[in-house]
Amino acid sequence: MSEQKQIILHVTDQQGKVHELIALDGWRAMEVIRDYGLPVKAECGGACSCATCHVYVDDDWADKLIAPDEDEEDMLDEAFEVQENSRLSCQILMSEDLSGLRLKLAPGSEPDTTD
């Protein structure tokens, strides 16, 4: 039986601090980010029906991800400050091939702090 390698996800928060997270194979990047308590709304919980888990993918990793489908592209149209490397973190499934992935939380993805 082969030993599973640790999957590392590097996330830069909205203040520029880099966090090294351990991801589980098959988990959505959004779930990992949320479970570590980083500031991401992720309002729909991964159903691709909002854009509150918007991230920027490091240029070195953009071509290693599965291309966004039409639903994801439609949701990104509603996000703030969309760039060419914008993705919804709920649509990025972590795997050993993505160990080392670097994401940056986009403006507007942080939870509201007002009541």
Per-residue model confidence (pLDDT) at position 105: 98
Task: Determine whether domain 7-105 maps to CATH 1.10.357.10.
Answer: no
- pLDDT (average), residues 2-6: 75
- Choose among 9, 13, 10, 8: nearest CA to 106: 13
Per-residue model confidence (pLDDT) at position 113: 62
Per-residue model confidence (pLDDT) at position 114: 55
Domain boundaries along the sequence of the chain: 7-105
- Choose among 83, 88, 92: nearest CA to 109: 88
- Choose among 37, 60, 36, 54: nearest CA to 90: 54
- Tens digit of pLDDT for each residue in 71-109? 999 999 999 999 999 999 999 999 999 999 999 999 988
Pairing of strands 101-105, 86-88: unpaired
Q: Are 16 and 27 in contact (CB under 8 A)?
A: no
Per-residue model confidence (pLDDT) at position 111: 86
- Tens digit of pLDDT for each residue in 29-81? 999 999 999 999 999 999 999 999 999 999 999 999 999 999 999 999 999 99
Global pTM value:
0.92
